[in-house]
Amino acid sequence: MQFDCAKVINFCDEVGAIARFTSVAYPQANGQAEAANKSILHGLHTRLGEAKGKWAEELHTVLWAHRTTFKAATGETPFALTYCSDAVIPIETVIPTYRITMFNEEDNNEARLTDLELTTQSTTTPKWSHTTSKSETKCCGVTFAPTRNMGS
């Protein structure tokens, strides 16, 4: 099924969602999708080894790792960028941490609303981080000579 069909458009209208579509020929979007797919495929190959037929059983683990790993461009995890909070790792459901034991749903809902109001103020941070990481990447492997002697 294509996402620009009448069925999807009607559904979006019913729930009040705005559907946005990206051109297939848009190189930047293609590159971003390819990079994400490459990361997921690499994780699957690593987890499976020779047992290629069990990829569906391992996919959730690889996706979890992908969504909860910090990205250099943003300094955040995709999970945190989506939900404005850190993910609860599986071990925290068995051995409760301070964060889990002190969780209060009402306070959490209020904090989430406040976070949503402040979101526009923090949107410049990832761009700055991306610029910084790119400039650091360009300097790798270069030795800089001191410009002056210590103590002068």
> Using one digit for the tens of pLDDT, what is the confidence trace for 40-92?
889 888 888 877 788 888 888 899 989 999 988 888 998 888 887 888 888 88
**Does pTM surpass 0.85?**
no
State both tokens at 47: 């987890």
Spatial neighbors of 78 by CB under 8 A, at least 6 apart, are: 66, 67, 68, 71
At residue 15 the predicted structure's pLDDT band, cuts being 50, 70 and 90, is very high
**Percentage of residues in the chain having pLDDT higher than 90:** 3
Question: Cβ–Cβ contacts within 10 Å for residue 115, how many?
Answer: 13
Could you tell me the CA-to-CA distances from 31 to 44, 71, 72 in Å, in that order? Answer: 20, 16, 17
pLDDT for 1: 47
